[in-house]
């Protein structure tokens, strides 16, 4: 039946103690129940680690030949129902007890046990960590070029995290490494950012909403009074993509919300910029900032949709394109505006559960007033000051002013 070798973790000896009980069913026949136990000192916990051929054979015979439901078979064996269903499906597809009879359940297809592949990932982390911080499809393609990669590795965020953990790193650690390497570029950009008047800046970006982040699972209610959640089901919420641009003095200038999939492309970004043009003014090369007109500088990130064609399009139409350095979202004012937009959209969803979603997006957008969005631009200025050594370095006026603040926002 289930088996596992004794292991020691964090100083505790985990001992496997299989236990079997006989139970008489309602039809009068006897059946064997296996109750596995782990002993942590004197504490016993019942759960399975691994099942052998006999356990799988029992579940498959109960379901396929005795007509027992998958739920009942899982209850008899004291395992999860999805596990029992996977065994039955594998037997129907392959005629074997295991999905892959060659490797059985030895976890030979798990990335944690692939030492050559883990060492290759570790070498990439030390030499070029940016390769593991891009879009998941690009990361998966890059991982496929490393030695030891198998087609069985799924293209998902979870696979990436398992690879990083196996190499001894986390996603946040890689992010910090890339930020530290680009600190000089961030400091140079901060100086330029501080030299541009806020009235000249137009901040633009794109954000996603999948519905799940709009549903409130908990709320406040009077004591001893039943709380009735008025939020609509997340499955009925649209997945949307919103492109937005705002300025310090005028608030939101242009916004486009479309359902997804399909996801936004570089062509959609160019169409959005074309709609933004009537609200902007031309940049005058060679003139000091005090003579420049309002809304003549476009600030945006290095996302895949922000292609090089966007720079050419922006400059051709007389707007000065200003790109953020990598891994510097704190210098983009619209990121905080998106947080405010999410809050207002969530409030509208829960306050008006039967109103069409298009109207809810319009209500949330109307709450983004100019005074509200202006405060987010000021926060980005403070972050820029923090990255300028001449202001916050040793011996300078603001030394230690931002020492208590985290370098990376959670």
Q: How confident is the model at residue 44 (pLDDT cuts 50, 70, 90)?
A: very low
Cα distance between residue 322 and residue 299, in whole Å: 5
Q: What digits encode the pLDDT tens for the residues 289-325?
A: 889 999 999 999 887 777 888 889 999 999 999 998 8
Q: Are 342 and 286 members of one domain?
A: yes
**What percent of the chain is predicted at pLDDT more than 70?**
72
Q: What digits encode the pLDDT tens for the residues 71-119?
A: 999 888 888 888 889 888 888 888 877 777 766 666 555 666 677 888 8
| Alpha helix ranges (H) inside 283-333 | 308-316
CB 295, CB 280: distance < 8 Å: yes
Q: Are 77 and 160 members of one domain?
A: no
Q: What digits encode the pLDDT tens for the residues 2-29?
A: 434 333 333 333 333 344 333 434 443 3
Answer yes or no: is pLDDT of 331 > 60: yes
Domain presence at residue 124: yes
Domain presence at residue 163: yes
Domain presence at residue 278: yes
Tell me which of 152, 178, 204 is where a domain ends.
178
Q: Which residue has the tokens 């603001």?
A: 398
Cα distance between residue 349 and residue 355, in whole Å: 8
Cα distance between residue 387 and residue 182, in whole Å: 11
Cα distance between residue 262 and residue 256, in whole Å: 15
Nearest-5° Cα angle at 200, 196 to 201: 80
Domain presence at residue 129: yes
**What percent of the chain is predicted at pLDDT more than 90?**
15
Q: Are 15 and 140 members of one domain?
A: no
Q: Are 167 and 280 members of one domain?
A: no
Domain that holds residue 369: 187-392
Strands (E) in 124-250, as ranges, are: 201-209, 240-247
The distance in angstroms from the start CA to the end CA of the chain is: 45
Q: Are 85 and 122 members of one domain?
A: no
The pLDDT value given to residue 77: 85
List the CATH number of the domain containing 235.
3.30.420.10
Q: Are 216 and 363 members of one domain?
A: yes
Q: Are 120 and 82 members of one domain?
A: no
Q: Are 224 and 127 members of one domain?
A: no
Domain presence at residue 55: yes
Domain presence at residue 224: yes
Domain presence at residue 403: no
Q: Are 211 and 158 members of one domain?
A: no
CB 236, CB 366: distance < 8 Å: no
Q: Are 222 and 300 members of one domain?
A: yes
Cα distance between residue 111 and residue 107, in whole Å: 9
Q: How many CA atoms lie within 13 A of 311 on its CB side?
A: 9
The pLDDT value given to residue 244: 93
Q: Are 294 and 248 members of one domain?
A: yes
Strands (E) in 177-290, as ranges, are: 201-209, 240-247, 251-259
What is the mean pLDDT of the segment spanning 388-403? 57
What is the mean pLDDT of the segment spanning 122-135? 84
Provide the mean pLDDT of the chain: 76
State how many domains the chain has.
3
Lowest mean pLDDT among 92-96, 257-261, 341-345, 351-355: 351-355
What is the mean pLDDT of the segment spanning 154-164? 75
The pLDDT value given to residue 334: 92
**Pair of tokens at residue 220:** 């406040």
CB 150, CB 144: distance < 8 Å: no
Tell me which of 137, 153, 178 is where a domain ends.
178
**Pair of tokens at residue 367:** 């709450």
Nearest CA among 384, 380, 186, 198 for reference residue 296: 198
The pLDDT value given to residue 109: 58
Domain presence at residue 398: no
Burial 314-335, CB ≥16 within 10 A → b, else e:
beeeebbbbebbebbebbbbbb
Tell me which of 67, 94, 121 is where a domain ends.
94
Answer yes or no: is pLDDT of 1 > 60: no
Q: Are 138 and 277 members of one domain?
A: no
């Amino acid at each position: 039946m289930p088996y596992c070798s004794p292991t020691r973790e964090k100083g505790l000896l985990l001992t496997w103690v299989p236990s079997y009980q006989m139970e008489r069913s309602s039809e009068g026949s006897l059946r064997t129940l296996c109750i596995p136990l782990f002993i942590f000192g004197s504490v016993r916990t019942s759960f399975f680690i691994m099942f052998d051929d006999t356990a799988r054979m029992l579940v498959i015979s109960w379901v396929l030949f005795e007509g027992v439901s998958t739920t009942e078979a899982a209850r008899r064996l004291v395992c999860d129902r999805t596990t029992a269903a996977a065994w039955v499906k594998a037997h129907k597809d392959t005629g074997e007890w295991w999905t892959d009879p060659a490797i059985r359940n030895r976890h030979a297809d798990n990335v944690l046990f692939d030492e050559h592949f883990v060492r290759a990932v570790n070498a990439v982390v030390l030499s070029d960590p940016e390769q593991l911080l891009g879009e998941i499809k690009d990361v998966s393609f890059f991982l496929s070029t490393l030695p030891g990669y198998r087609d069985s590795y799924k293209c998902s965020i979870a696979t990436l995290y398992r690879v990083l953990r196996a190499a001894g790193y986390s996603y946040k650690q890689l992010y910090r490494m890339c930020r530290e390497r680009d600190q000089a570029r961030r400091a140079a950009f901060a100086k330029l950012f501080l030299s541009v008047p806020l009235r000249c800046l137009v901040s633009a970006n794109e954000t996603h909403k999948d519905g799940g982040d709009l549903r409130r699972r908990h709320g406040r209610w009077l004591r001893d009074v039943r709380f009735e959640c008025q939020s609509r089901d997340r499955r009925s919420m649209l997945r949307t993509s919103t492109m937005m641009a705002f300025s310090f003095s005028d608030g939101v200038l242009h916004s486009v919300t479309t359902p997804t999939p399909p996801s936004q492309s570089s062509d959609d970004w160019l169409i959005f910029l074309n709609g933004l043009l009537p609200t902007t003014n031309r940049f005058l090369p060679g003139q000091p900032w005090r003579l420049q007109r309002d809304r003549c500088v476009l600030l945006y990130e290095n996302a895949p949709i922000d292609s090089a064609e966007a720079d050419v399009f922006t400059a051709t139409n007389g707007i000065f394109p200003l790109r953020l350095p990598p891994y510097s979202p704190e210098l983009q004012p619209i990121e905080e505006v998106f947080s405010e937009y999410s809050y207002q959209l969530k409030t509208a969803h829960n306050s008006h559960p039967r109103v069409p979603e298009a109207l809810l997006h319009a209500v949330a957008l109307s709450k983004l007033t100019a005074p509200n969005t202006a405060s987010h631009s000021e926060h980005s200025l403070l972050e820029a000051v923090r990255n300028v050594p001449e202001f916050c370095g040793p011996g300078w006026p603001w030394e230690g002013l931002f020492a208590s603040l985290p370098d990376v926002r959670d």
